[in-house]
Structure 1
Amino acid sequence: MAIDILSHRDPKVATDILKIQQESYAVEAELINFSDIPPFRDSVQSIVENDETFIGYMIEEKIVGVLAYKEEQEEIDIYRMMVDPAYFRRGIGESLLKHLFATMPNKPVVVQTGKGNEPAVNLYLKYGFEPVDEVEVEPDVWIVMMKKAQ
């Protein structure tokens, strides 16, 4: 097991990221009963061109989890967190969060997730995130915005 920054500008790495993203967010889409979520609009090219920092959780050189973020002036924004569904419930999301907290400056961290995505909401709550807002993005489809003060 290793956690490291991914070279997402490499099309092979971007392809691996996209595959995990599509499979992971398919589970969220089912949980929130809404399939038109932004991660499904990505392509290998959009990941290659992305300016987020991607960190990956690897098992035997296979990427099985990814967290992508941007360090802004006032905070760190988590833009995506995904785990290959074959590796759910193994602490990979927790390990990625812990790695982010250990390697980033002492700034607040913000994240958004589908309100109905209880596994993600519970993970963020466990690590000190608090809900700060909820937005209805479509009828009966809610996004919860969460923040962890540092």
Structure 2
Amino acid sequence: MKIVKATESDILELYRLQLLSFESEAEMIGSRKVPALMESEVDFKAAFNQWLTYKMIDDAGQIIGGIRYKYDDGYVDVGRLMVHPEYRQQGLAQKLLAFVDEHCSSKRRVLYTCTKSWINIKLYTKMGYKPIKEEQDGTGLSFVYMEKR
């Protein structure tokens, strides 16, 4: 398994993985209003070049995970951490987060997840992220923002 920069030719496959990956979060929180599931393919494609997007591929070259980040005003915004459901419980999400840590270790990193996404919160806490604020959005869902310095 390796992590490499995604290209525009990966957009459709990454978008499909995003929909598949975030389905379990929707089930966990009891709502399909998860931002990653509400994003259209057109919006995903339009946002692609605003992020540094990486894919995790298996030995056959299949995309089995992904993560993206961008430099914002004094911090790194981390998003769309995803692992194909068939490849979960193997530490791949940790490897993707560690990859961002290696490339952005001198910067404060911030990510967010739904406050009901206890599996995600447990992972982020294990990886050194600490909650900094909670916000509710227009869908009625609450999100916790977490940072790592």
**Could you state the TM-score of these two structures normalised by the residue count of structure 2?**
0.90
Aligned counterpart, 1:145? 145
Mapped pair 1:85 → 2:82: no
Higher mean displacement: 44-53 or 18-27 = 44-53
CA distance in 2, matches of 1:81, 1:2: 15
Mapped pair 1:94 → 2:76: no
**SS of 2:144's equivalent?**
strand
CA gap of 1:16–1:115, structure 2 versus 1, over 3 A, is same
How is 1:1-150 mapped onto 2 (pairs within 5 angstroms)?
Answer: 1-7=1-7, 9-10=8-9, 13-50=10-47, 51-59=50-58, 60-137=60-137, 138-139=139-140, 141-149=141-149
CA distance in 2, matches of 1:53, 1:46: 16
**Cα offset for 1:88?**
1.0
**Could you state the TM-score of these two structures normalised by the residue count of structure 1?**
0.89
* Number of positions where the alignment pairs a residue of Structure 1 with one of Structure 2: 145
CA distance in 2, matches of 1:144, 1:105: 22
Instruction: Provide the alpha-carbon RMSD of the alignment.
Output: 1.4
Higher mean displacement: 61-70 or 42-51 = 42-51
Structure 1 residues not aligned, in runs of 5+? none
Percent identity of equivalent pairs: 24
CA gap of 1:37–1:88, structure 2 versus 1, over 3 A, is same
Extract structure 1 runs of 4+ deviating beyond 4 A.
Answer: none
CA distance in 1, matches of 2:91, 2:112: 20
**Cα offset for 1:52?**
1.1
CA distance in 1, matches of 2:112, 2:33: 15
Describe the superposition over 1:72-114 as per-residue Cα deviations: whole angstroms up to 9, x where unpaired. 2300001211111111111111000111111225010000001
**SS of 1:90's equivalent?**
coil
**Cα offset for 1:136?**
2.5
Amino acid at match of 2:102: A
CA distance in 2, matches of 1:54, 1:47: 12
